[in-house]
Amino acid sequence: MEIERVQLQKHGDHGGMLIALEQDRNVPFEIRRVYYIFATQRDVHRGKHAHRHLHQLAVAVRGSVTFLLDDGSGPFEVVLNDPSQGLLMGRMVWRELYDFSDDCVLMVLADHLYDPADYITNYDDFLREVRGVVYPTEMVACQSA
């Protein structure tokens, strides 16, 4: 599940639409945290990090946003602009969010509570970790100088 676009089932009629997000049905993890991002300026880039353990499902419930994603095999873009589509992101996926529409509301479901220790905020560090590069002890000492 590292990165996967998912189609969410819509229910409705002439009176409106509904999409249910349910743990172990269309959300493949325990939902421990839900947050949403809104009122983001168009020229702002958000995210710019990866998670060592966290899994997330992102849904643009209104408007649109572009994700730049990288699982270590190279970056690519995904646009979310349909509330019936979600974006599953597993552990060790770099993400940057940008090109928010003025009306964008991005909802994110996560399988862990907020933990700053789970974040990798430097892209080069992320690439080293995701590719499993381990430095010999003497090189680590040299880098901290």
| Catalytic machinery residues | 49
Instruction: For residue 17, give the amino acid letter.
Output: M
Residues 6+ apart with CB under 8 A from 98: 44, 45, 46, 65, 66, 68
Whether 60 and 81 have beta carbons less than 8 Å apart is answered as: yes
Whether 47 and 119 have beta carbons less than 8 Å apart is answered as: no
Kind and range of the H or E element at 13? strand 11-13
Q: How many CB atoms sit inside 10 A of residue 66's CB?
A: 16
